[in-house]
Chains A and B, each alone.
Chain A
Amino acid sequence: MRSAGPKPTVPVKGRPGLASRAWSVAAVPVVVIGLSVLLGAVIIVFSELLVPGHTFDIGLPVVAYSALVSGALGNPDAVVSTLVYSTPLIFGGLAVGFGFKAGLFNIGAQGQFLVGALGAVMAGVALAEVPAPIAIPLAALAGFVAGGIWGFIPGFLKAVSGAHEVVSTIMLNYVAVQLLAALVSGPLKVPRSPSPVTFDVGNAAFPVILGRNGHLGIALALLAAVFVWWLLYRTTWGFEVRAVGANPDAARYAGMRPKLITIATMTFSGALAGLAGTSVLLGVTHSMTSSFGTTVGFDSIAVALLARSNPLVIIPAALLFGGMRAGAGLMQIKAQIPVELVDVLQATILLFLVASPVLRRVLRVGRRHSGPTGVDTAATPAAGEAVAI
């Protein structure tokens, strides 16, 4: 799946036909999700024993999962809610996946998400009275640029001094949290408000285009996925990004400049994560409190890994995790299972995914990619290059 462009998959030797071809692509994700749901059920049943007064209830996972599914898909409102939850995950998944393609591990999506939202709220509040057709694009652009700046820093440091992006992006996540707190309880705070909160973004808010609260960001996220796909597979820059990710030395010999690509990739990746923050701020919250922030950053890593960084596959992967987030509330009400179960399911999906070489052997699904990684991102450690963490 390293470069799942429009090229048709080569049928697995000895088992041709559309069905087996589809199976060879979908087998691992389907089995991984199935195993995770099973393991999640085991965890639900046994962890309930930790709560005093609760008893062993083998039916509880069924109650929990059916509530989860109906909370995510049960009625039109639930479906729209799933879409709303998925929107930042599409942007975030694109951000992380784009980094993977260049061999960069952007764990800083969380920080870029926060700074992007910060940029959007600052511009949005300033443009609150300006007509919407002007205010919305400018506020979104501010979020895009702010996220890009937060992504530029680790990219620049990596290119100039070799500081590994994993540590520097994580550190910037913590800095972003403090920066947000400082601004929201300081210069951006509504005067005389009892709690730290900013003004509303007014006209800069995304209009509702679907159902009760389906905002414009949903459409933008889908467009972004198509755009990133086009960028990666149909432009020279995208080719260079993938070339540097596959083998920086070969790319350099071919006349590309890996350091520049590193900076540009991290900046664009950060900007996409900034749009994730923008979509939540302009589409959902419309203002910012000091506790603004979700698990979008880490969910995005999960989305990108599950989709193997393919921009178009990121959409269904984001819908899966977004749906779980949307349905978690109903699950907590109906089955008294903490919403954090979603984090557990996500983690088990990732664990099974990284162990997928074993699954492939069991399922007898061939893989077209003989590299050393279990999860086929382009982030295969480049031959001969030490990972300096």
Chain B
Amino acid sequence: MDITPLVNGLYGIPVLGLVFQAIGYLVAVIPPNSTSIMSQATPLALAALCGVLCERSGVVNIGIEGTMLASAFTAWVVGVAINPMFQAAPTDVFGITIPLVIALIAAIGVALLISALHAWLSISLRADQIISGTIINIAAFGVTGYLDQLISKTSPAGAGEFTRFTPPDALTNLPGVGWIVSMFLNQGPIAMSAIVLIVGAQVWLFRSRWGLRTRAVGEHPRAAETVGIDVIRLRYKNVMIGGMFAGLGGAFLSIEATNSFQLGMTNGRGFIALAAMIMGRWTPLGAFASALLFATFLQLGQLINIAPPGGDLGTIMSAVPAQLFDALPYILTIVILAGVVGRSVPPAADGQPYERESAT
């Protein structure tokens, strides 16, 4: 069946036709770019998962951005440092090499340390959690910038990057769903593990004893403590586990999506992730879905500049400065934050330091 006349008819309607053209453009560009969209979504989803775990237990973490940046830098710099010691060829599976694995572990380790610092400042010292997070962001930006300046003097080569798994053509060419297959399977190890971790965290948070306790501590710590839950300890654990997810997301940027480190390469992803978390109502799966939406806009911002839509829509869009499309994900974040947050209820004890009742 040829639907071209019908499509052309719809496109030709004044004003309303533009909407159809936009839909047509989205339908045309999203499936072929599904793999890139998932790549954009991976760091956002991992960072949002970090946010979910922290805030479900009652700790606000806006230092996710800095945690990711520090991990991205660590993964890259450890790869640079130890790569000359190993001369093994990359393996067939995901291009895994020993330096890359060590770099990944180091990145997660650094994220663990940073989140432990945030936990100590905000849980034990009961410092303002937003200030603690902001300081982590400033510190990460400063330290990575300084070390990057020192190291990049010699423009060293990194340890390469994880490569993507290539699913069989029979699957990716399936009509209608092939692009979904390649979206989730034509990925590297970190992106794939992100999907597993998100599903796992959803089950863990809502179907396990730890998850129930975590949510209790985030909603009503006093009540949780009266039934014998160690509020402080549980918050520490959640913040640190969440930090490891953020570290994984940071490592993704420098040793899976690319093979390099740039100053401030996280580019606000840690904050967009917080918006994704809110939009996903503090659930891992919801946050993942929102991350995919944001990722689509991040990708569209680039696509519109490379392959603009045709027709009237294209004419209108070419009149708009390209930079405004780059600003699109950030504007979307604000709009969603303003529109959704009113109806999206955070954990009741979110952001409040907990003080044990004195034993008097």
Contact = CB atoms under 8 A, between A and B. Distances in A.
A340 B278 contact: no
Interface string B146-170: 1111110110000000000000000
B128 A373 contact: yes
B334 A346 contact: no
B121 A354 contact: yes
B146 A341 contact: yes
Interface in A152-210: 153, 157, 160-164, 166-168, 170-175, 178-179, 181-182, 185-186
A318 interface: no
A372 interface: yes
A65 interface: no
A357 interface: yes
Interface stretch (B197-205, B226-234, B243-251, B268-276): B268-276
A60 B334 CA distance: 46
A182 B134 CA distance: 28
14 contacts: A168-B334, A174-B268, A178-B327, A179-B327, A298-B141, A301-B138, A302-B138, A351-B135, A354-B131, A381-B353, A386-B349, A386-B350, A387-B346, A389-B274
A18 interface: no
A48 B150 CA distance: 8
A379 B138 contact: no
Please classify the interface of chain B as helix (H, G, I), strand (E, B), loop, or mixed, using the class held by over half of its residues.
Answer: helix
Given A350-B139, A355-B121, A374-B125, 11 more contacts: A162-B342, A167-B334, A343-B141, A347-B139, A350-B138, A354-B127, A354-B135, A357-B125, A373-B131, A381-B129, A386-B351
B172 interface: no
A52 interface: yes
A338 B151 CA distance: 11
Contact of B139 (A48, A105, A351): A351
Interface residues of A, number: 61
A50 B151 contact: yes
Contacts of A342: 142
B149 A347 contact: no
A219 B125 CA distance: 39
Interface residues of B, number: 59
Nearest 4 interchain pairs by C-beta: A343-B142, A387-B351, A347-B139, A338-B149
A351 B127 CA distance: 11
Contacts of A340: 142, 145-146, 148-149
A48 B149 CA distance: 11
Nearest to B156: A52
Interface in A362-382: 372-375, 377, 379-381
Given A387-B350, A389-B351, A344 B143 contact: yes
Interface of B: 55, 60, 62, 121, 125-132, 134-135, 138-139, 141-143, 145-151, 153-154, 267-268, 271-272, 274-275, 278, 321-324, 326-327, 330-331, 333-334, 337-339, 341-342, 346-353, 355
Given A186-B321, A347-B138, A354-B132, A175 B146 contact: no
A51 B151 contact: yes
Nearest to A343: B142
A350 B131 CA distance: 9
A50 B128 contact: no
Contact of B143 (A170, A174, A347, A377): A347
A272 interface: no
Given A178-B323, A298-B141, A386-B348, A379 B131 contact: yes
Given A164-B337, A347-B139, A350-B138, A47 B150 contact: yes
Nearest to A387: B351
A293 to B, nearest CB: 12
A341 to B, nearest CB: 6
Given A50-B151, A305-B131, A298 B138 contact: yes
Nearest to B301: A178
Contacts of B355: 372
Given A182-B321, A386-B349, A175 B150 contact: no
Nearest to A153: B334
Interface string A129-161: 000000000000000000000000100010011
